[in-house]
Structure 1
Amino acid sequence: MRTVARLALVAIVISGLIGGATNLPSRTAQGQTTIGEADLAIWRVKVSSPAEVSRLTSGGWDVLEGRGDDYLLVMGDSATARELEAQGFTVSVDQLLPSERPDGLFSYYGGYRTVVEHYQHLDALAAAYPDLVSVVDYGDSWRKLQNAASGYDLKAICITYKRAGDCAQNPATDKPRFVLMAAIHARELSTSEQAWRWMDFLVSRYGVDADITALLDHNEMWIIPVVNPDGREIVESGPTTPYTQRKNANTSLGSCSNPPTGSSQYGIDLNRNADFQWGGAGTSTSPCSLVYRGTSGASEPENYYLQNFLSSLFPDQRGPALSDAAPQTTTGTFITLHSYSNLVLLPWGWVECNSSACPPSQQSPNDAGLRSLAFRMSYFNGYNTGQPSEILYAASGGTDDWAYGVLGVASFTFEVGPGSGTCSGFMPAYTCQDSTFWPKNRDALIYAAKSARQPYTLSLGPSTITPTLSLTTTVVGTPITVTAPINDGTYGAIGINRPASQAIAAAEYYLDTPPWAGGAALPMAAQDGTFNSTSEVVSAQIDTTGLSVGRHTVFVRGRDDAGNWGPTTASWITVVADPSSYVYMPLIIN
């Protein structure tokens, strides 16, 4: 969803009201700064009512995901500021954006990867991990449809421990699916980098980490690293600074700036083009606008093929009416990565609420499960959590609304990166990927993946922290104690309508066969003697008598006093033969 700055690696914060002059002076701590007519800036636009928010977000300007108590942010040049003032908005400068990148802070080949490199990475993973990885081509980009020699295939990767029939584009599967997609907005470079790390993490931890191994044994992870490859190629073509292309590369409509600018560019905003609630809030009918919605829902091949692809992975699990809830047995989770502002957004995104908290009539029919899962994920990344209209602004035609509205899949948007300061912007210092973004979001993605089996129920239950074992390797017949913290308070701290924590009521473990596969539940006890708190440490003794020699998986889960079981968390024990049972034979040398 993000519609922000050309480059936010270095931003000079300035203040002052906009006048009508060609050059708009303002003062910084270093002295006098002048905004040239072609310079890009982030403008602070005051909004005093929901009607003004709607007028601004639907006016065709490049409205960003940053939001203050009484203002929204818009990117553009001096002409943009004058247009806003002419429409009655009060405008001031928030940040001036440099026209060229500082040397050494950005390099596609030394840092951010090109589309070609992302696609090479998919093929390299498939070659290195043939038992885990499959690459699929699910369609063609706009440029490729115009000329087969240009443009790109649209590619995704499936990661699971493969059995016959796994990773098929068929919704009839017993393995729940988690889909992570990135770069539907071309200029949001961090998103593809986080998808890259998620793929590498999964394949590198299989057979090493019990929880990830169990995840890939029983689930499919699907990743689309670059949804909008044509647009990303335009971004890459900037001679000194990557271009701020947000949309796809469709040049058939309008007469727009080329090369693209922060206020005019060819293409369609793919995150306003999905054909669920298309054409509503936060969109424009002007072809050069950065939020141009296109001529119809899913008019663009990138969206047409994406929707077909998602429909091939997930069954239709929700009725046609807006009030129809997906059943509690619904499977599948979906996250689309954007940047920036540190947000976890849940459906509905298209509704315009008239208060900070949307009333039930403007919430989705699965709001309890969606909101609980969103806050479970923000427990790990610390992001602000809510519906777009609650913590940002409404936007229709988005992919997450489509995936939930049409298929019933639990769907979310992550806005990766802070709204200001270090690591903010579309193209932050590359070091932010590993120093900040990946550590914050890794466990949130793991939780989303583990919840895919039944997201609307599992997210209501407590979280199980990694179990510990008194022995990780033991002789057959020797008991092992398994201990695990169970916590129902693992909800993010910032957001709208944070769910209430429940007391823990029970815990259990399974040996080798998890609960969904018919495993036998073995009870665990609260170490303090009573289940009466939202956080309990539980334990049980595992009898290894009769276990086969080798590695065994222990699955642990907890239940709250409302009857909700949370996701399982896995650990390993290794059983070895009793040396006393060995039969020693004399060695006779002839």
Structure 2
Amino acid sequence: LAGCAGWAGTEGRVSEAEKRFFAQNELVFARVDFTDLEVARRLVVSFEAVSARYGEGYLLLELSLQDFARLRERERELGLRVSLDTALSEQQSRRLRGFEEGALAEALRDFPCYRTLEETFAAARRIVAEHPALAAWADIGDSWRRGFAPRFARSGHDLRVLELTNRAVAGPKPRLFITSALHARELATAELATRFAEHLVGAYGTDPEVTWLLDHHEVHLLLQANPDGRELAEAGILWRKNVNLLACPLSRARRGVDLNRNFAFEWGTAGSSAEWCSDTYRGPAPASEPETRAIQDYLRRSFPDVRGPALADAAPADAWGLYLDLH
């Protein structure tokens, strides 16, 4: 609590019991009931919403004690009621402690319709084995644990891209590059990209649009962009960042870098945090994380650099290719 001193007007809005709860739990979530939908949407943009129940009139936000105090201070002004979700917070803290102690929970037990990290990789390998003329499985870099912490029991992962095209048709071909699951707890995105790949190879030769797409284009999919973080998410922990142990090292719950805010382009602008325990921590430097560097390097190899000198310059008429980051 030492870092929370000096919040003029906020201390009285947080009870001693609530402060103790923050001190005792590594991950803390709050329920925020709202009356104004626009206020709720602004909160989702400003804080880390793990659930937005607009129709039911409440949000679930992951909050620091400081942010909890700030929201509590503005309850009346914004038409909010801010309360701790003690059950979810205690559950998440228990799961995190269990993961760190090696007592792994059943993977994705709350979301059985999504494939695990290893099941996603197995699906990609199966696509390559069954459709060798259309698919390749390329290693483009390392996760943080693989590149920086191989001594740990969980030694990390290669970052792999599933590359789909009919290689019998000569290029050059415009390229679609999709990254997914950059934020570990966004489970649906990796499954969406995997099913897209399965649809493309399964419909090739019978669906004319799919056949045209793979004959005359390339589709590249980084199905799991944050595999280390995904391991925590699969243990039921609402994990967002990578697992860089050097970022916020004294906290098991807050460590890591927000990969989505670590890219070199416009690094350090609004919407990211310099505070290393924040969920939106941008890292110590542009592209400091191996996952981010791997994606950037792959983008540079994949697309010709046709940017003009000004930020708002239009793309030239002969620019081609598309990049999508699924969230």
Do the two structures share a fold, i.e. TM-score over 0.5?
yes
1:359-378 correspondence to structure 2 within 5 Å: none
The equivalent residue for 2:156 is: 151
The equivalent residue for 1:276 is: 265
- Residue of structure 2 aligned with 1:233, choices 224, 231, 234: 231
1:218-367 correspondence to structure 2 within 5 Å: 218-236=216-234, 238=235, 242-258=236-252, 260=253, 265-338=254-327
Give CA-to-partner distance per residue, 1:374-409, whole Å, 9 cap, x none: xxxxxxxxxxxxxxxxxxxxxxxxxxxxxxxxxxxx
Q: 1:334 to 1:46 in 2, by over 3 A?
A: farther
Q: Which amino acid aligns with 2:242?
A: N
Retained in 2: the 8 A contact 1:282–1:291?
A: yes
Retained in 2: the 8 A contact 1:185–1:246?
A: yes
Q: Deviation at 1:73?
A: 5.7
- Counterpart CA distance in 2 for 1:159 and 1:86 is 50
- Counterpart CA distance in 2 for 1:180 and 1:307 is 13
- Counterpart CA distance in 1 for 2:111 and 2:74 is 45
Retained in 2: the 8 A contact 1:42–1:76?
A: no
The equivalent residue for 1:174 is: 172
1:7-406 correspondence to structure 2 within 5 Å: 20-21=14-15, 40-43=29-32, 57=46, 61-62=47-48, 75-76=61-62, 79=65, 82-85=68-71, 90=78, 91-93=80-82, 96=85, 99=88, 107=109, 110-148=112-150, 150-163=155-168, 173-236=171-234, 238=235, 242-258=236-252, 260=253, 265-338=254-327
Retained in 2: the 8 A contact 1:108–1:114?
A: no
TM-score with structure 1 setting the length: 0.43
Which ranges in structure 1 are unaligned for 5 or more consecutive residues? 1-17, 25-35, 167-172, 339-590
Q: 1:279 to 1:77 in 2, by over 3 A?
A: closer
Q: Which amino acid aligns with 2:259?
A: L
Which ranges in structure 2 are unaligned for 5 or more consecutive residues? 1-11, 93-105
Higher relative contact order (CA 8 A, sep 6+): 2
Retained in 2: the 8 A contact 1:22–1:78?
A: no
- Counterpart CA distance in 2 for 1:305 and 1:106 is 27
In structure 1, the residue corresponding to 2:136 is in which secondary structure? strand
Retained in 2: the 8 A contact 1:62–1:290?
A: yes
Give CA-to-partner distance per residue, 1:343-383, whole Å, 9 cap, x none: xxxxxxxxxxxxxxxxxxxxxxxxxxxxxxxxxxxxxxxxx
Give CA-to-partner distance per residue, 1:263-315, whole Å, 9 cap, x none: xx110001111111111111111111000011111111111110000111111
The equivalent residue for 2:96 is: none
In structure 2, the residue corresponding to 1:156 is in which secondary structure? strand
Retained in 1: the 8 A contact 2:31–2:58?
A: no
Larger strand proportion of the pair: 1
In structure 2, the residue corresponding to 1:151 is in which secondary structure? coil
RMSD value, Cα: 3.6
Q: Which amino acid aligns with 1:158?
A: E
Larger helix proportion of the pair: 2
Determine which structure has more spread, i.e. the larger CA radius of gyration: 1
The equivalent residue for 1:360 is: none
Q: Which amino acid aligns with 2:321?
A: G
Q: Which amino acid aligns with 1:154?
A: L
Q: Give the fraction of aligned pairs with identical amino acids, expressed as a percent.
A: 35
Equivalenced residue count is: 284
